[in-house]
Amino acid sequence: MTTSEKTVCVAAPAKVNLTLHLMARRDDGYHMLESLVVFAGILDRITLEPSDTFSLVIEGPQAHNLDTLDPADNITLRAAQRMAALAGRRDGVQVVLEKNIPVSAGIGGGSADAAAVLHGLIRLWSFYPTKAALHELALGLGADVPVCLQGRSTIMEGIGDVLHEAPPLPGFWLVLANPGVEVSTPLVFRAHTGDFLPPVRLTDTPRSAEDLAAQLRKGRNDLTAAAISLEPVIGECLALLTALPSCLLARMSGSGATCWALFSTEYEARTAAKALRTAKPAWWVAAAPVLHTVDPSGLADSPVSFTGI
């Protein structure tokens, strides 16, 4: 987190669901779930500057995908406003969002941005709410915001409100691919059919990327069939990722449309990403390491790739 006298800069890494098990549907329409979540080194960047009012400026290669959204409805601005209310402040903040992560893509772009704003305002305002108050605020913004706020490999349960530390994971790389379609999370959940099955958790601490993939293969993303029924190109994306040389496992993240492939090394991941980008130049493709612990301060100035090229 870089800080000047008047600005704070924070990074928001992509959230990736390695598993996503639906366990039940509540009467209010929300689903109880269990998910193993990690964070990848593909980042949005947020700069916060004191202001008399609240405003949002969106830049970056994915900014055009937010052109039709009223800034007042953007989750990053709502995060700032609710944090100000919690802090009892009457001033505002200008939020400058460098958008590198695709929108409505199943990798927590908006949720990660909101969590980063909360981290940044703690620093900017020297305001330190209780853990319980911050968790409640984050959950009120969205189901994925608490896990993004926690910022480390996590087992997420309930509706996103129950978080447990994940077993230690080995180092590994991901190739993320989005075929250029946006899918509505509520629509995907509503399209889910079939029985609810028990979650399949990691039973042992994985010793290697290969061991991790073998254990993950026993699990699922229970939203995959529903997402493919709405956007069949997701099935093509999964097939192409699975066919990449050295791919250990491929799966959809969240409610889609982004899918991932797991690799042991940076060389394998970057080579595979280059091949997929050549085959599908209109798709968003990125290779990134998994960041088991997220440091918004260090990441804001790091040379971590934003585009995966």
> Which of 182, 177, 171 is closest to 286 using CA atoms?
177
DSSP per-residue codes, 229-282: HH-THHHHHHHHHHTSTT--EEEE-TTSS-EEEEESSHHHHHHHHHHHHHH-TT
Residue 63 tokens read as 């900014």
Residue 177 tokens read as 């691919």
What stretch of H or E contains 154? strand 154-158
> Which of 26, 19, 36 is closest to 159 using CA atoms?
26
> Which of 49, 43, 66 is closest to 151 using CA atoms?
43
144 is catalytic: yes
Of 44, 113, 144, 222, catalytic? 144
Of 15, 44, 99, 222, catalytic? 15
Which of the residues are catalytic? 15, 144
